[in-house]
Structure 1
Amino acid sequence: MRSGRDEAFTAFMAARYPSVLRTARLLTGGGPQAEDLAQEALLRSYRAWHRIGRLDAAEAYTRTTMVRMLVKDRRRKWHAEIPAERLPEVAEPGHEDGTATGLAVRKVLLLLPPAQRAVLVLRYYHQLSEEEIAGVLGCSRGTVKSRAARALATLREQGVLAAVSHDTERG
């Protein structure tokens, strides 16, 4: 017979695994390293389930675990591998634009160090406040602001945000 913890965790996985994996892909650039990061974070979440206690807190706990693992443990394989240019699978018709956009975003994020990448993913993908990001990363709000500023400056220097900057200035 399955325990209540197993049932609750299974429900969490069924509902939120795609979101957890999307976050891991944004943080790592995709590929097997994203799956490894997501699975390790989910394993840690399962082990801590008695502290988490609620489904609504589980995704935040897992996301925080992924970000901290990425930023603090640079020796892991999700930092060493480089994603392939082409996916080995055949994409379903009609998903080319979404796939191309996703690959482009992940490629751009890989231009940044893990801590800066984590700040942008948490801010713009998960819509967290600076205070919430500081809590996830275990740093001050000022550190979050400076990492975001440095990340955006790097992307501007690389020409990635040039179109956005010009459009904003004209508007």
Structure 2
Amino acid sequence: MTTENEAEFREFVAAQLDHLCRFAFLLCRDWHRAEDTVQKSLTKLYLRWSRLNLSSPGAYARRIIANELREEHRRFWFQRERTSGRIPERASPDPGESSAVRLTVLDALAQLPKRQQLAVVLRHWEDLSVEQTAEIMDCSTGTVKSQTARGLQTLRGLLGYENPMQVEGAMR
């Protein structure tokens, strides 16, 4: 890797590290696992950085993170340990937002099937477009729309919301 490429990569990591860790946390709900996954993903990205010609390296990094978490989940020897019911300091709620509501939404989100969970997180927490989400999930835009709709429908049922906007409002 050239010095210029390495400098670009360092700038990217400095600008995106916290955001990528929050993204991984939303998918796995464990800060240690999220940080480990981001570290592995950034290593993979670093090895490919000089060969990449991407307009959005952040989307590519999120795709690597999502794939890494999916692969880890599939491994038969992986034993998931449950974290405590409190939100870590780095995931503090926005001012005015009830932490109890946030915990309830996170618990409900964890109950979704993995593809629905990924679609909902990318669309409503990451505020990505359908096309950007499809690129990260490596699927069609129709699949993104259906997985997001099913995920939100399941969340409405789990949270007891009748109005779809209540779920989206609780996630922000």
TM-score of the aligned structures, taking structure 2 as reference length: 0.75
Give the letter for the 1:118 counterpart. Answer: L
Q: How many residue pairs were aligned?
A: 163
Deviation at 1:126, TM superposition (A): 2.0
Deviation at 1:70, TM superposition (A): 2.8
Look up the match of 2:19.
19
Pair 65,123 (structure 1): closer, same or farther in 2 beyond 3 Å: same
Give the letter for the 2:5 counterpart. Answer: R
- CA RMSD for the aligned pairs? 3.4
Q: 1:116·1:151 contact (CA, 8 Å) conserved in 2? A: yes
Distance in 2, Cα, partners of 1:157 & 1:111? 12
Matches within 5 A, 1:72-111: 72-75=71-74, 80-86=80-86, 100=99, 103-111=103-111
Deviation at 1:30, TM superposition (A): 2.9
What are the superposed Cα offsets for residues 19-67 of structure 1, whole Å, 9 maximum, x if unpaired? Answer: 111111111113211112211111111111113357x632221111112
Distance in 2, Cα, partners of 1:11 & 1:42? 13
Pair 103,128 (structure 1): closer, same or farther in 2 beyond 3 Å: same
Give the letter for the 2:37 counterpart. Answer: L
For structure 2, list consecutive stretches of 5 or more residues without a partner in the other structure. 168-172
Question: Given the alignment of the two structures, is residue 162 of structure 1 paired with residue 161 of structure 2, yes or no?
Answer: yes
Look up the match of 2:65.
66
Deviation at 1:4, TM superposition (A): 2.7
For structure 1, list consecutive stretches of 5 or more residues without a partner in the other structure. none
Distance in 2, Cα, partners of 1:21 & 1:141? 25
Deviation at 1:88, TM superposition (A): 7.8
What are the superposed Cα offsets for residues 63-118 of structure 1, whole Å, 9 maximum, x if unpaired? Answer: 111122334552358882322224687x99x9886693654443332111221111
Question: Given the alignment of the two structures, is residue 46 of structure 1 paired with residue 14 of structure 2, yes or no?
Answer: no
Q: Secondary structure at the match of 1:18?
A: helix
Pair 99,44 (structure 1): closer, same or farther in 2 beyond 3 Å: farther
Deviation at 1:132, TM superposition (A): 2.2
Which moves more between the two structures, 139-148 or 117-126? 139-148
Look up the match of 1:153.
153
TM-score of the aligned structures, taking structure 1 as reference length: 0.75
Pair 12,72 (structure 1): closer, same or farther in 2 beyond 3 Å: same
Pair 86,131 (structure 1): closer, same or farther in 2 beyond 3 Å: closer
